[in-house]
Amino acid sequence: MLTLIILVLAISFILYAILGGADFGAGIVELFAGSKGEKTISKSIAPVWEANHVWLILAIVILFTGFPKIYSTISTTLHIPLMIVLIGIVLRGTSFTFRHYDDPHVGAHKYYSVFFKVSSFVTPFFLGVILGAMILGRISPGAPENFYAGFIAPWFNAFCFMMGLFTTSLFGYIASVFLIGEAQYHVEQQRYGKLAKIFLLATMVIGFLVFVVAEWQGHHLFAEFIASVPSVIAMSMVLLVCPLIFYLFTHPIIIYLRVAVATQVTLIMLGWFSIQFPIVLYSDTGHHLTFYNTQAP
Amino acid sequence: MEDLMAARLQMAVSLGFHIIFACIGMTMPILMAFSEWKWLRTNKQVYLDIAKAWAKGVAIFFAVGAVSGTVLSFELGLLFPGFMEHAGAIIGMPFSWEGTAFFVEAIALGVFLYGWNKLNKWVHWTSGIVVGISGVMSGIFVVSANAWMNSPAGFTWENGKASNIDPVAAMFNDAWFSQALHMTLAAFVATAFAVAGVHAFLLLKNRNIQFHQAAVKMALSFGAVAALLQPVSGDYAAKDIAERQPAKLAAMEALYKTSKPADLVIGGIPNNKEERVDYAIHLPGFLGFLAHGDFDAEVIGLDQFPEDERPPVLIPHIAFQVMVGLGMILALAGLLFFAFRIWGKHVFQKKWWLTFIAILTPMGFIAVEAGWVVTEVGRQPWIIYGVMKTKDAVSTMPGLQYSFYTILFLYVMLSVILVWIMRRQIAGITTHYPSAVNPD
């Protein structure tokens, strides 16, 4: 039963990364590529973006039902970044819908766009920050020394910000690939193809920097990565798929391209899971929160 | 501001905001599918136009509901981690069902909104019905989780920990049915009367528009039925509370001393110092009748509870009066609607009737908010009735008031923008739909 619950949690996380990634990423793409793609982006995410929330909600429900201690620790110590994520989710969803349905000639239109783009960037950034804080291990589950140590220091650091950038860049990559298939014209398709390449390279560079910064912050992530065979296999496969993807950028067969990128994202997530399984949340006391020691009665 | 107060206010604002969109999400899809059904049956353009116009409203409100609902699922832990740490495992089931229902609702709504010209008409109509049913279901699931806080079941509580967890027994706790029924009907009353009110207001400006006439009629039919059933469900809920949560009933009715027979206190201002209600109307014995079906029955007052287990009186009492008062007015409107349908349809064109319906626009929602205030404040100081106090569940993070101010600002801003956008949507009806233009 426990294995099944963990499996569902992992699947909902991966699905949120892929589907939520495509839809948050669309806003990131618009932020970098300008409003030329607004129509395509609106049309392609309008019917689905609300439904994508379900994977996040499912993950949350599994956490509080199955592993309540993890949930309550995260929501207490990471209160601030979580609030930022929530505000981001609200602003993004509403500004997108308002832009889609409100009279396009109204002056507010450009403000809806600004809010949509900025919150599309900020929200996944802080999702990454939260993941970073869970990995870095500066969270103290007990009573904190002071406000800074308890509620700021766990996430306000270079490693977490690098994780934030990694998440946004990855989401931007997923979305550019997704939009190649949604684009109406060849020119537009090429534009997203080019962006996808840039985001892919950026994701790799930032991914490398995540390891560097982790060392600098005293967390030996690279050693943990090398020690985990499934993780090394997963990352190698992520890299091996890249030439195929580059080929597909120039000769797009949409379904292959999407499957390839979804596989990459899945592998990245699986690689991360296998590095730290069964630990979910590293704490500064050395008493980490795992799936086993936080199980609900 | 104290952290506990800030956390409670933030929860109140978030829930109070979300509940409006949740009600609309439960009711509007049924209304829009009903209009589409009438179009399929009669082939009259006006019903198609109304269904499309309402669907646009649903799309906007559903989006706001989806994000504000996501906020709530996090806030339970952000504000009351002590509660979720113990309750999460017990009430996880209704939440996962709610998530599933929300997912179905979101997908079906996508099909409905983007499938107008692509699907078989009846398949399209079915997707609308699915939106409505899953909307109602998700409401019922969430209310069942709330009912568990009022009537905890399905676990044993020992040494500050829950064991022997039975999620099915927790979900179908003693309060779930009366609360779910009362809330579902409330959603229909509030939304249907609000819709009817807006169209009635537009008819006041221009009497001869078929679009608004048909819309008022459809919305009122739903609203009237629900408004007439609501007092029955309210009576059932009151008797239920009298058994399970006598402290809440005592707070609602401002009954300080256990009485036999017990007066029903209408209106007035509870005076905690003197333990009486000033300026109120007293109906002797009626409270016993309402709570236990007997004019001579004894009703338990607040004096039966230790002081640190008594809920506040002022807020639940006033909120309860507001809810019941507005509920009565809406039930009366429902009764008049049916009466005039039989004996005087010409009244529906009259200025006084349209003005009356237009004035009722916000009333159902005010009643819904007041009802939630009654049930939430009336449960205090408990977060899980009789098991855990709210103050023991609140987050240990200091400075929660800043969280509250931020959410308050965000939701006030969004409400203003929404009103502004809806006004424009309504003004746009005439340009989009031929049946909304005055034939003269």
Q: Which residues pair with A97 in a beta bridge?
A: none
**How much is the pLDDT for B250?**
87
End-to-end CA distance of chain B: 60
Q: Do B396 and A76 touch (CB under 8 A)?
A: yes
Give B103-137 pLDDT, tens digit per residue: 899 889 988 988 888 888 889 999 999 999 999 99
Placement of tokens 């912050």 in the chain:
A217
CB A167, CB A124: distance < 8 Å:
yes
Q: What are phi and psi of B360, to 5 degrees?
A: -75, -10
User: Nearest 5°: CA angle at A255, between A252 and A257?
Assistant: 55
Please provide the DSSP assignment of A225-257 as one string.
HHH-HHHHHHHHHHHHHHHHHHHHHHS--HHHH
Per-residue model confidence as pLDDT tens digits over A89-137? 999 999 988 888 887 777 788 888 899 999 999 999 999 999 999 988 8
Question: To 10 degrees, the CA torsion angle through B94, B3, A56, A129?
Answer: -160
Contacts 24+ apart (CB under 8 A), A11-16: A12/A55, A12/A56, A12/A58, A12/A59, A12/A62, A13/A55, A13/A59, A13/A269, A14/A265, A14/A266, A14/A269, A14/A270, A15/A55, A16/A52, A16/A55, A16/A56, A16/A59
DSSP code for A183: -
- The reply to whether B75 touches chain A by the CB within 8 Å rule is yes
Nearest residue in chain A measured CA to CA from B56: A101
Chain A from 96 to 125: CB within 8 A of any B CB: 96-98, 101-103, 106, 108
Query: So what's the pLDDT on residue B439?
Result: 64
Whole-number pLDDT of residue B350: 84
Instruction: Look at residue B440 and tell me whether its pLDDT is greater than 80.
Output: no
Disruptive mutation site among B24, B78, B109, B407 for chain A (greatest number of A CBs within 10 Å): B78
Residues 379-438 of B with CB under 8 A from A: 395-399, 403, 406-407, 410, 414, 417, 421, 424-425, 428
0.80 cut: is pTM over it? yes
Dihedral sign for Cα atoms in the order B310, B316, B318, B324: negative
Helix residue ranges, H only, B173-274: 176-205, 210-244, 246-252
Q: How far apart are CA B144 and CA B171, in angstroms?
A: 6
At B321-369, the pLDDT tens digits run 999 999 999 999 999 999 988 888 788 888 889 999 999 999 999 999 9
What is the per-residue pLDDT for A91?
92
The pLDDT tens digits for B197-254 are: 999 998 888 777 888 889 999 999 999 999 999 999 998 998 888 888 889 988 888 8
User: What integer is the mean pLDDT of B182-187?
Assistant: 95
Does residue B381 have a cis bond before it (omega within 30 degrees)? yes
A79 touches chain B (CB under 8 A): yes
Three-state DSSP at A287 gives: coil
Residue B163: the pLDDT is 81
Query: Which residues of chain B are within 8 Å of residue A152 when distances are taken between CB atoms?
Result: none
Structure tokens at B138: 């998700």
CA distance A29 to chain B (A): 22
Q: Give the pLDDT confidence score for residue B287 in this predicted structure.
A: 85
Which carries the bigger pLDDT value, residue A47 or residue B64?
B64
| pLDDT tens across the length of chain A (297 residues) | 888 888 999 999 999 999 988 889 888 988 888 777 777 888 887 777 778 888 888 888 888 888 888 888 888 889 999 999 999 999 999 998 888 888 777 778 888 889 999 999 999 999 999 999 998 888 887 777 788 888 888 899 999 999 999 999 999 999 998 888 888 888 888 888 888 899 999 999 999 999 999 999 888 888 888 888 988 999 999 888 888 888 888 787 888 888 888 999 999 999 898 888 888 888 888 788 888 888 777
